[in-house]
A and B are shown apart, each in its own frame.
Chain A
């Protein structure tokens, strides 16, 4: 096909442009959709623009009173006037950048009215959007039939977040990302993945699928139930405890550190590992701690004991959890206590990050489902135990190969410092105006038109903004290979299963009696 045959429209002169930030073109051949990419000759290079709105105009339908009048006799306007001939499709676009000598440059000068427009070619789009042949296949560019293959580093290194309201495919999209990480061959470089999963949505990865055609990831997945988790007290440092108990004062920290060190020394001397009771007793026995400091400290330790989370050794051990090409799902669904969940997240995050800094574990991606629960924006530090370490990883993780994947349905409640560190935002449908405003403020490169488009995304459609592609990209998330979570069952099916369970119980009771 020649360039002329590929032409779909022509740049027109309008109130807003053409300018470096906006240009409109009249579509004279075929259709153009919102979210599609177009290209045009620009100097010695090629300019790429994103269609962010498409408008139809027709002179015959500009005046409501006239349309009503002409149609009052029962005949449609089209039966009285050649209205179809006057219909024009005008696409509003945002110039993104242009290629010149194999480099992408910012548009600082507008193309001329009259410039012919083509749909962006696959080759140009691949280069422009920074796609990587060996990248993670997340889906397909809408209307371009082009696989979205993002380089692992460009997507994850500076952290990623998935934002959407409930039911619009967050977990599904994250599962697609997890599949890609698990399918990644060793030669291309693999990382470890840990999912902190408050609802047990990713447990399905650890179970061989019963459904035909679904891929089995159970051998590469380790499932850890919250009820089985034990935090080894000897592994606790005063810093870790301070992270879990944000109210500790400096003298309390000093005293606790001293006592912990003494207990660790005794352990090395042959007394064996100690637990929280031993620590509490040691604090109670210690005569160097002032009484007004000891009381609250014992109180904190009692509070921790009530969580039933602490033991003599770690279970599971951190190096077992973090292995290249392995997925660890920490299923927190059997824990209702938010504080306990936050303590688990805080502890694991700190330990994993520290281990990674010391290069004792491979680079990793930590997926934080319902991230607003663990890094809330408006909560006091006492009720946001895990926020501090999540912030730290968000700020410093890039240097150490420690990546975050935040997943949230309430971006407005998610810590701004953490969210703003996410280099790539994958946004699915969101309609809440506060969340949209928050996303607009925290996502660079999102203009008002793109924000408008977020509200009209359908299930499985996503907008990617940020480091991974440099430019906003609307795409369809690919179909997942793994079996879907049990949480995805319909209300009807869940209701039926519940009642069947009751009937079975009744039958068993009757049999017993």
Chain B
């Protein structure tokens, strides 16, 4: 196929999808008028599908944690560098008054070597687990040292499916260590009265859409069918206006069936909630996750979290992401030169002529 025809086809497909989704969202508009609580479903814990959010005033201490990793495949093993960095913004009268960092403004990344004999998928999983452990450890230390009122994580506050190794895998113990660390983080956040908030940049979640299909569109099969395959963030991009959020919902329909949450203590597995927030006109909604214990009003709690995320993410009309996480990302991001430094040092200490580099990385031309 010629490149121009591929481009034309892509443009047509995207435009048609956009048109369809607009029509679809218009069809969904009546749902926004419903009182969801009348349904009696535990999945629909807030009154409205779409809820306006008030921007919180910034007069508090907010932390953000991000991590970066970079790896280099070598012949006998793989070299991994991980850097997890926390930033703390102290706001006074809506202005940033001071910034602190953990472990420091510039932290040299921690190098580690992959476990011997891992399969390719296990190696990917192992790297991700190591990175999450470092990130969570940093978040824990940050909360204990600086007592922020909010602690933002870059990404979900729950490990992802891909982070779970096979049952017989050699990195299973690492996985359990990761779960331990996550639950320890939840506990420390709770103890320190710190709101743990996960912000997912480009979420591919579809839980919101599933709830719609199952709870609100069960009688409209045709409409429900049309929603199939649509990510939440795309669907809600049409439904939400800037300064609005979706209702908050449970992270999963059944914690016992969720591959990760099934391994958590029940206290935590049942407390993970999420909603989508649209902070600015020209960016997609942001998926926000937080921990909610029964007893408090979910609506009030979600609005409190949404207010802070909104205040932190509404400065740029084309880029909705909390400023504290932008700062943490600048510190955590790793560059290829950094792993080359470690690699060169290893090579220097080895005998001359040691064949460490992969053949595919050593092509002469």
Contacts and interface: CB of A to CB of B under 8 A. Distances in A.
Tell whether A and B belong to one assembly.
yes
Contact of B318 (A59, A69, A73, A79): A69
A86 B96 CA distance: 15
Nearest to A65: B318
Contacts of B323: 80-81
A80 B91 CA distance: 9
Contacts of A66: 316, 319
B316 A81 contact: no
Contact of B96 (A59, A73, A78): A78
B105 interface: yes
A82 interface: yes
Interface residues of A, number: 13
A78 B94 CA distance: 12
Contact of A80 (B96, B318, B319): B96
B315 A82 contact: no
Contacts of B316: 66, 69-70
Contact of A82 (B89, B94, B318, B319): B89
A75 interface: yes
Contact of B317 (A69, A79, A80): A69
A188 to B, nearest CB: 55
A70 B94 CA distance: 14
Contact of B326 (A73, A75, A81): A81
Contact of B95 (A59, A69, A79, A85): A79
B105 A73 contact: no
Contacts of A78: 96
A82 B327 contact: yes
B253 interface: no
Contacts of B330: 59, 86
A299 to B, nearest CB: 79
Contacts of A81: 96, 323, 326-327
A82 B64 CA distance: 13
A80 B327 CA distance: 10
Contacts of A86: 330
- Of B89, B316, B317, B318, chain A has the most CB atoms within 10 Å of the CB of B316
Nearest to A73: B315
Contacts of B315: 69-70, 73, 75, 80
A13 to B, nearest CB: 8
Contacts of A69: 315-319
Interface in A65-103: 66, 69-70, 73, 75, 78-82, 85-86
Given A66-B316, A73-B315, A82 B95 contact: no
Interface of A: 59, 66, 69-70, 73, 75, 78-82, 85-86
Interface of B: 87, 89, 94-96, 99, 105, 315-319, 323, 326-327, 330
Pairs of residues from A and B, 10 with the lowest C-beta to C-beta distance, nearest first: A82-B99, A79-B95, A69-B316, A70-B315, A79-B96, A80-B323, A70-B316, A81-B323, A80-B96, A81-B327
13 contacts: A69-B318, A69-B319, A73-B315, A75-B94, A78-B96, A80-B315, A80-B323, A81-B327, A82-B87, A82-B96, A82-B99, A85-B105, A86-B330
